[in-house]
């Protein structure tokens, strides 16, 4: 039974209300290694997820992976022949439909798909640039797709061209880096600003890995879950409105073994099965050997250490998720950003019950990334206008 948080008398939350903003985000993609089937791993699970969201009036923000979408567009006729359907057409149709139902679409990018080639049912990805900052063009400019600015600009344009015909005021303002690889962040911040993106959601407090590439968020220099960054670091707090709004994925440090829940194991087993089957030549495959599931050796090595467990609605039990919300009760001004992956969604009943409980709770409000960002940017602009003008002249001498 869900215990109501009963916080009305104690806290004032986001925008002066007493409601905790809960932002559901879904990484919408196949596998970073190039394997998977769009119909099975993206379209079908997302269809079920969205229908459960609609039932409980919850809004989902779909983090739309544009790198593979571009690749599917380039190889349209070959894929249609091999698969019997067009993956990019399916993704586009589902995104447009989701927006018409009140959900949100924002930018997600795995740069290794830029320039990917498809041959005899297998994808060859550019493994040199899994990290956005490793794109060969560096910071670059808007017209260079193999640069940070160019890739982000193209991603934003793709989503705005896709959605504006059905929602004229739609804007792509939020970004999440593939694999959370948003470091080194100086050029990522500069590229986002140049492309017109206002908010990032790539930081997972406490998360670090060296495989297949390195990223380290173990030293976030603020206690907040949302903050304005400096011009060089996503993990450091700067002046409101000046750089990028960081909306960190909700996480907490816990022993690795603690995260071995049934739903998580099922999702990991499903991923491994798909990747192995694809390498063995069943279904759309990849000639890459980079797996999205850690090896048994890596798991054993990690077992005794603490790790950052994300608030993952595809992997956590309903009970654990409600517990996390209750534990967050003292921080109503800080939103909770939940994450899931369409390819991991196996437990419909768990998600259905969780949303039902949250929907009944009067102290929680579902928000999209767009809604939240718009309000924060507006507040920062107002605060900036209200600030006394900087003194630009020295008092006259004598």
Residues that bind Zn ion (CB under 5 A): 27, 29, 178
Nearer to Zn ion, 111 or 309 (CB): 111
Nearer to Zn ion, 65 or 233 (CB): 65
Closest separation between CB of residue 223 and Zn ion, Å? 27
Closest separation between CB of residue 38 and Zn ion, Å? 14
Closest separation between CB of residue 28 and Zn ion, Å? 8
Nearer to Zn ion, 29 or 171 (CB): 29
Separation of alpha carbons 376 and 14, rounded Å: 10
Nearer to Zn ion, 155 or 178 (CB): 178
Closest separation between CB of residue 149 and Zn ion, Å? 20
Nearer to Zn ion, 247 or 364 (CB): 247
Nearer to Zn ion, 27 or 171 (CB): 27
Closest separation between CB of residue 52 and Zn ion, Å? 21
Nearer to Zn ion, 130 or 351 (CB): 130
- Exposure string of 252-274, with b = 16+ CB inside 10 Å and e = fewer, is eeeebeebebebbeebbebbeeb
SS3 sequence, the chain? CCCCCCCCCCCCCHHHCCCEEEEEEEEECCCCCCCCCHHHHHHHHHHHHHHHHHHCCCCEEEEEEHHHHHHHHHCHHHHHHHHCCCHHHHHHHHHHHHHHCCCEEEEEECHHHCCCEEECCEEECCHHHCCHHHCCCCCCCCCCCCCHHHHHHHHHHHHHHHHCCCCCCCCCCEEEEHHHCCCCCHHHHHHHHHHCCCEECCCECCCEECCCCCEECCCCCCCCCEEEECCCCCCCECCCCCCCEEECECEEEEEHHHHCCHHHHHHHHHHHHHHHHHHCCCCCEECCCCCCCCCHHHHHHHCCCEEEEECECCCCCHHHHHHHHHHCCCCCCCCEEEEEEHHHCCCHHHHHHHHHHHHHCCCEEECCHHHHHHHHHHHHHHHHHHCCCCCCCCCCCC
Nearer to Zn ion, 293 or 364 (CB): 293
Closest separation between CB of residue 220 and Zn ion, Å? 21
Nearer to Zn ion, 68 or 187 (CB): 68
Closest separation between CB of residue 27 and Zn ion, Å? 4
Closest separation between CB of residue 112 and Zn ion, Å? 11
Separation of alpha carbons 92 and 109, rounded Å: 16
Closest separation between CB of residue 348 and Zn ion, Å? 22
């Amino acid at each position: 039974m869900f215990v109501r948080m009963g916080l009305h008398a104690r806290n004032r939350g986001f925008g002066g209300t007493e409601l905790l903003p809960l932002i559901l985000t879904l990484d919408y993609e196949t596998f970073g290694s190039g394997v998977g089937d769009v119909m099975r791993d993206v379209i079908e699970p997302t269809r079920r997820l969205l229908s459960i969201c609609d039932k409980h009036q919850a809004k989902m923000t779909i983090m739309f992976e544009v790198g593979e979408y571009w690749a599917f567009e380039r190889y349209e006729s070959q894929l249609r022949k091999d698969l019997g359907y067009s993956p990019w057409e399916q993704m586009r149709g589902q995104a447009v439909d989701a927006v018409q139902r009140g959900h949100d679409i924002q930018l997600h990018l795995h740069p290794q798909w830029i320039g990917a080639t498809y041959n005899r049912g297998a994808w060859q990805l550019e493994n040199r640039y899994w990290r956005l900052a490793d794109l060969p063009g560096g910071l670059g400019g808007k017209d260079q797709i193999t640069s940070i600015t160019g890739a982000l600009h193209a991603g934003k344009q793709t989503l705005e061209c896709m959605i504006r015909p059905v929602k004229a005021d739609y804007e792509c303002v939020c970004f999440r880096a593939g694999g959370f690889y948003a470091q080194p962040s100086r050029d990522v911040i500069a590229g986002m600003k140049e492309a017109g993106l206002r908010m990032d959601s790539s930081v997972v407090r406490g998360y670090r890995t060296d495989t297949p590439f390195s990223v380290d968020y173990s030293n976030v220099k603020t206690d907040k879950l949302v903050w304005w960054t400096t011009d060089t670091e996503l993990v450091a707090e700067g002046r409101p409105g000046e750089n990028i709004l960081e909306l960190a994925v909700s996480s907490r440090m816990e022993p690795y073994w603690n995260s071995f829940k049934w739903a998580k194991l099922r999702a990991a087993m499903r991923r491994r099965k798909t990747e192995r089957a694809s390498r063995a030549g069943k279904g759309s495959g990849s000639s890459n050997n980079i797996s999205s599931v850690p090896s048994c050796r890596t798991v054993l090595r990690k077992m005794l250490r603490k790790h950052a467990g994300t608030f993952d609605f595809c992997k956590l039990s309903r009970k654990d998720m409600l517990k996390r919300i209750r534990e967050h009760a003292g921080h109503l001004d800080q939103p909770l950003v939940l994450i899931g992956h369409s390819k991991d969604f196996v437990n419909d009943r768990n998600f259905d019950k969780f949303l039902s409980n949250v929907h009944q709770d009067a102290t929680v409000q579902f928000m999209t990334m767009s809604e939240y960002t718009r309000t924060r940017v507006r507040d920062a602009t107002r605060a900036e206008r209200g600030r006394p003008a900087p003194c630009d002249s020295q008092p006259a001498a004598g």
